[in-house]
A and B are shown apart, each in its own frame.
Chain A
Amino acid sequence: MGDKTLLYGFYFLFFVIILYLLLFLLNPDKIYKSIHVVRNIVIQLLPVIFLVIFLMGVSNYFLKPKTVMKHLGEKSGVRGWIIAVSFGILSHGSMYLWYPLMKDLREHGMRTGLIAVFLYNRAVKIPLLPLMIYYFGIVFVIILTIYMILTSLVIGKTIEMIIKTPS
């Protein structure tokens, strides 16, 4: 799986670089701007990348399949859903940075629905709530947040019904 991921990753990266080269021929200024944006994103992402690598290392060291199965596995029950919701809300950075850790945890026995719940709740960001309140008002933000947490559970359950085994 690792080699396949790496190979597809390089294909994808190659495709995007070709796209950059083509667009560079049409409008170099826009590509310089894009590269500047990318540089800023990478700078912002670096601390989260280190955090994710650290968490992956810690999970490799401490989390044995048995532990993951107990807290996030098929029989984790309500506690598993609560952990996934909380972990999703508390996690930082872009969603795609968390895919490798989710893949690791699933290989250790985390149920598919809880991965979906975690990823959905990444949308609920406590540090950003004041800004959201500024733009949309506190009542709106409270209602939306409650609906989003409930929706994450519905999506998690639905995904488990659709995907019986990891694809």
Chain B
Amino acid sequence: MKNRDRRERVAVAFYKALKNFGTALPILLGVVLLIGLFKTYVTIDMITYVFTGEPFRDTLIGSILGSILTGNPITSYIIGGELLKDGVSLSAVTAFIVAWVTVGVTQLPAEALFLGKKFALTRNLLSFIFAIIVSIATVLTLEVIT
């Protein structure tokens, strides 16, 4: 009897999990489809083109681009490496890779739906601002240490 109760509780727990995740599927699929478009339409050349050579402005641009673009962090490292080779400043590249993984403009509708609009907007805005601060702090610390 006890085993049957436990089995029922396990079944209910996983049914609830499946149901909750099922509810999330349309929006998650929408996000994945948007990422597919981004990956096809935005090239590394396009990204390199928008940087100006002015360190602070480039750091801001890096954070904006990292916030809009999305995908596996590995992609951001590869793009970041290419940007460095093209002479883009380290703080701009750092802001780019930090914003890439912490800010999610594409995922914003999903985040707002699950965790609340205010939470999603505040978290993304703070992450955007801190991408700039963290990048400047990292580069300054690196300069002091090395």
Contacts and interface: CB of A to CB of B under 8 A. Distances in A.
A35 B119 CA distance: 31
B72 to A, nearest CB: 8
Nearest to B114: A99
A78 interface: no
A20 B63 CA distance: 27
B126 A158 contact: yes
A6 B20 CA distance: 10
B33 A163 contact: no
Interface string A47-91: 001001110111111000000000000000000000000000000
A60 B8 CA distance: 13
Given A53-B21, A115-B115, A144-B98, A34 B37 contact: yes
A139 interface: yes
* Interface of A (DSSP majority class): helix
B5 to A, nearest CB: 12
A129 B19 CA distance: 35
Interface string B72-108: 0110011011001000001000100010011010010
* Interface of B (DSSP majority class): helix
A5 to B, nearest CB: 5
A38 B31 CA distance: 10
Contact of B27 (A2, A12, A140): A12
Contacts of A158: 122, 126
B111 A128 contact: no
Interface string A111-129: 0100110011011010010
Interface of B: 9-10, 12-14, 16-21, 23-37, 39-41, 73-74, 77-78, 80-81, 84, 90, 94, 98, 101-102, 104, 107, 109-111, 113-119, 122-123, 126-127, 130, 133-134, 137-138, 141-142, 145-146
29 contacts: A5-B23, A12-B26, A13-B30, A34-B36, A38-B33, A41-B36, A53-B17, A60-B12, A60-B13, A61-B9, A94-B107, A96-B104, A99-B113, A100-B23, A100-B114, A103-B20, A103-B114, A123-B102, A128-B73, A128-B74, A131-B74, A135-B77, A147-B138, A151-B134, A155-B126, A159-B119, A162-B118, A162-B122, A166-B119
